[in-house]
Amino acid sequence: MVLLQQISVALTAAVATLGSAIFIAFNYFYPRRKWTPHAQYATIKEEEEECGKRQVLVLGLDGAGKSSMLQGLTPGGGERGRCRPTRGFNFISVRAPACQLDFLEIGGGEELRRYWCEYLIRTHVLVYVVDSSDRGRLPLAKSELHRLLQVQPQLPVVVLGNKQDKAEAVSVSELHEALSLGSVVEDRKLFLLAAQLDSDSALRNSCRSLNAFQDLLLQLV
């Protein structure tokens, strides 16, 4: 009985040694690529670029008007009803002559803002929507914006100062100061545009502004 146990142990050790030798030899002659999340995202981005796709990430605090902006970019979007708050994600694709713009909107609630930075790596342009009439939360909008700017220093950014038609809205120049956009390095592509996408009538009247906004995105990508 003892002899059989010793033989079994010896055979197990021999098989393990042989398996290790085969594994080492296989990796020597056929080296494997090292997988990392960053490498995977980079590969996906390269494949999308080859297909003419460009991702536009749409962020901003809850209630800023991100979904209204996406609604205005879709055919017939100005005739739809008011948007509900985004609890997770929204996605639309806009076909342009040169490429396809894939807009990904992530909700602006506190529980989702912690994940914003993880989506910047596959993004070609960041669109940051700010409620110009929500004066009390402008400091929060500023801090979240600058947190994103630090993650991807070279990423082009378009800031939309939304709800400019509201009586309590700050002007574009005041918004520029409130968001400390003057502190952004000069060689970075950063644009501040006015918008009024908080109501159905304003949405229909903003078609020209949205067309200019889309043209700017095409230039940036």
Sequence-ordered list of residues with C-beta below 8 angstroms from that of 210, at least 6 positions apart, any chain: 69, 72, 73
- Entry pTM: 0.72
Please state, in angstroms and rounded to a whole number, the distance separating the CA atoms of residues 170 and 178: 9
What is the pairing mode between strands 89-95 and 53-59? unpaired
Q: Provide the residue ranges of all domains of the chain, joining segments of one domain with +.
A: 1-32, 37-220
pLDDT at site 104 = 94
pLDDT at site 76 = 57
Length of the chain: 221
At 83, list the tokens: 């948007």
pLDDT mean for each 10 residues of the chain (221 residues): 52 51 45 39 48 90 90 63 64 86 93 93 94 97 96 93 93 96 88 77 55 85 76
pLDDT at site 215 = 84
pLDDT at site 123 = 93
pLDDT at site 191 = 94
Residue 9's alpha-carbon distances to 12, 13, 16, 27, 218, in angstroms, are 5, 6, 11, 27, 68
Please state, in angstroms and rounded to a whole number, the distance separating the CA atoms of residues 217 and 201: 24
Q: What is the maximal distance between C-alpha atoms in the chain?
A: 93
The yes or no reply on domain 37-220 and CATH 3.40.50.300 is: yes
